[in-house]
Structure 1
Amino acid sequence: MTIRWTVLAPAMVALPFVVSACINEPTAAGTGPRLSAARPVAADPVSLKLDPTAGNFPPPDFAKETGNGPYSQARWTNRVALDGRFSVLLEKSVDFASCYTPTPQNGCMAFAAVIVTGVEGITIADLGNIGFSVNGDCGAGAPRFNLYYDTNGDGQADGVAFYGCAAHVSETTTDWTSMSASAAAPDFCYTFPSGDCTLMRTSTVVELSVLVDEQGVWHIDRVQAAGSTTGEPNGT
């Protein structure tokens, strides 16, 4: 399997992030099945569930390691919550900037994410507005939505789109910031390996996740997609 490493400059659209994409493994956080075609969407909202996932690509080989470790954590917690009793803790201990140096620090390519399951195979039009609420910094590149999409109906990711928190703030309170964005209008998008964006309203979802790859601690709650909202371990 060929891994494509794409490093996007921090100055670009003020979205500082490092992306690790595999042709058969859409995101660093990817674990779900691939769908071969768009599935019909019922009149009722879809059933969402959140799957916390963390990992690392340690130097010098940058071979993928999945699971919570010393450099990143993704897990449910009942210590902080906006709605209900739970939120998802996303934490990373090493900044990504080290990855730009000749001697990358272990953990610079670590990630923490929450995969939004239940939307695989639906169209971008039906995905509609996507959003989340965050306790922690609402930055340009972290946390953000990563959306891997299929344009030719084979169920494999043909490109990836990004939606940063800071550019789409919809509400703020003392401790929480909420964001909402149209899935059809990403901050940035490209087709593998490095082509122009091909995201269309008829494209289908391969995987959607809320991801951090910068140093810090965040709590994610009230995740919205396809007309549904969830923030609890049992989903919607």
Structure 2
Amino acid sequence: MRIIVIGGTGLVGSQVVEILRRQGHAAVAASPSSGVDATTGAGLAEALTGAEVVVDLTNPPVFTPDGVLDFFTASGEHLAAAEKAAGVGHHVALSIVGVDRPASHGFYIVGKVAQERLIRESGVPFTIVRATQFFEFLQGIADASTSGGEVRVTSKTLQPVAAAEVAAYVAEVALSAPANGVVEIAGPDRIPLADAVERRLAALGDPRKVIADDDAPYFGAVIDDDTLVPRDETYRHAATTFPAWLASQEQA
């Protein structure tokens, strides 16, 4: 099967490509570095020729309200047009658990909402994979929440997941029939974000002080305990715990 992975050189994308290739599929990593730019449409027609599945794992290069929305709108529109022209039979996109809840609507979520809407309206059969936050992003969350050497993050809970398990699930979905709807994956445990960030920074030897502040925004939104976690048991239950993931990073 010919599968084009847009954003195929990133954290999840590179793993998805590797998994699919090991299973004997013609998985192609497409990104601006390979001449394929979904935000402008450059190279899409050529890349999608003969493609049966397209997996969209792109992320904006600039995390500002306008930059995120413009990125997901432009890339969504160009991908929909190119996929319809190429006769692609399944569009798979990675999104976020809780994206459809008004309380979660920080600026990044607004961009993902726009992306999901374009996917639903495209006419291309699709599956949206919503995942909880990755363990790998905890350091980035700390960086985005730092001021004067202090990291202010909420103590509300998230249910983080290992990127490797998300990649495996995305690859599985890409080889399945389109759901024309949403599937979810989440980690095994709910963890206060402030605790998770503090433990990650400690493991890195990072001296920044973490302050639990429930008024601190999470990428533009003040969240509650149930904002960005699954609300029923139908999601894919990932197995990797936070302590196990931390241990794996130390070994690496």
Q: Which has the greater radius of gyration?
A: 2
Which structure's residues are more often helix, by fraction?
2
Under TM normalisation by the shorter chain, which class is it? under 0.3
Structure number with greater CO (CA < 8 Å, separation at least 6) is 1
